[in-house]
Structure 1
């Protein structure tokens, strides 16, 4: 059954979206419409998330793009509905983004959205992260809601091939996860790990990110 939903951002979310996406806000709006319709219909997110798409999902991810160096090559592990990878590609056309996703139905949806938005800086790559290491070599690896950091480190750090950084969007348990994953991160080549918050000047609830630098002391 077709669903017609057009999530409207609150005034505060609208201001934040304008600040983050600038003149590419219409693309972000189209992406949100895809999430709220075909994304929900195909099970990429639940109906309860639709009213919260702007604040809890799209803007929560998009503000993290500010941590990424200009012109960087980025891989989004377990991309799912394109969060955070597609928000980065929309907000930052200077980035080259690879969405790594193992499930075919999700890859099909991602490809449809990328084509509809006309994003020429995005590649959809069907694979498990651990199987993509030989083909993917990027500057930054991102992930959101994939797994605990102790497991996620092994899925993300190898894609940097010894140099770059991981930006993992996490919740309130971020510091605890870092402590538990410390040895695994060091063993994989992580040289500096910190918990940072972004979006405090634009979002009601800032985004928590675990930032792991690899190959840099």
Structure 2
């Protein structure tokens, strides 16, 4: 491992017996496949990694459901509502960025972004042990260890160790609570890219005071995936510094 890679890895998942991820994933041919309408988006966002993305969906549909990371009702919507929704957010991230994904959970958006954007380095920050174990297994099975690190911690616990260019979060908390958790990971410059829904503008309005406190500016609501996704991805972008 190079010095650069050693410097990149601020932490790892819990020690202990590892599960053979290859044995617990739904085989790609058995996992939910993208619909005919979704296929152009899969090709656009994942390109040569489309089969790896299919394998990731297999993990979500099997062990991800079994371990409670997602509900079984999400299986038919794994591609459109989850994986492609997250991949589209990559259009908001500059090339070659070090991205910290806070509250990574089932790897959404972190693993989806790593598959869609091979130029990114990812740190998946997740405090729950069972989720960290699952993330470690999936990252290993997908062969992403050189670009994706999994850290078992709360974001505020590793703010001194991780200096990210971009912080991402999806379904973690309201923006006014999210900013104090995520912005310290940027160390005064960079951007928060928060995947949000229809309440994005309302969340920004309620977070004005905290945005100013953390030196945020030019906050915007942006959509990505038009022409590819049935429901484009909504992102709140908060530049810092």
Q: TM-score, normalised by structure 1?
A: 0.96
Please give the per-residue CA displacement for 1:27-51, whole angstroms capped at 9, x wherever unaligned: 1001000000000000000000011
SS at match of 1:190: coil
Q: How does 1:31-42 map to 2 (within 5 A)?
A: 31-42=56-67
SS at match of 2:217: strand
CA offset at residue 9 of structure 1?
Answer: 1.2
Structure 2's unaligned 5+ residue stretches are: 1-23
Structure 1's unaligned 5+ residue stretches are: none
CA offset at residue 24 of structure 1?
Answer: 0.8
C-alpha distance in 1, partners of 2:102/2:218? 20
* Cα pair 1:192 1:214 within 8 Å, conserved: no
Q: Is structure 2 residue 179 aligned with structure 1 residue 153?
A: yes
Structure 2 match to 1:144: 170
C-alpha distance in 2, partners of 1:11/1:34? 21
C-alpha distance in 2, partners of 1:168/1:135? 21
Bigger CA drift: 88-97 or 3-12?
3-12
Structure 1 match to 2:121: 96
Q: How does 1:21-170 map to 2 (within 5 A)?
A: 21-119=46-144, 120-170=146-196
CA offset at residue 3 of structure 1?
Answer: 9.1
SS at match of 2:59: helix
Please give the per-residue CA displacement for 1:75-98, whole angstroms capped at 9, x wherever unaligned: 000000000011111111110000
Structure 1 match to 2:217: 191
Structure 1 moving runs of 4+ over 2 Å: 2-5
Corresponding residue pairs, total: 214
Structure 1 match to 2:21: none
CA offset at residue 6 of structure 1?
Answer: 1.3
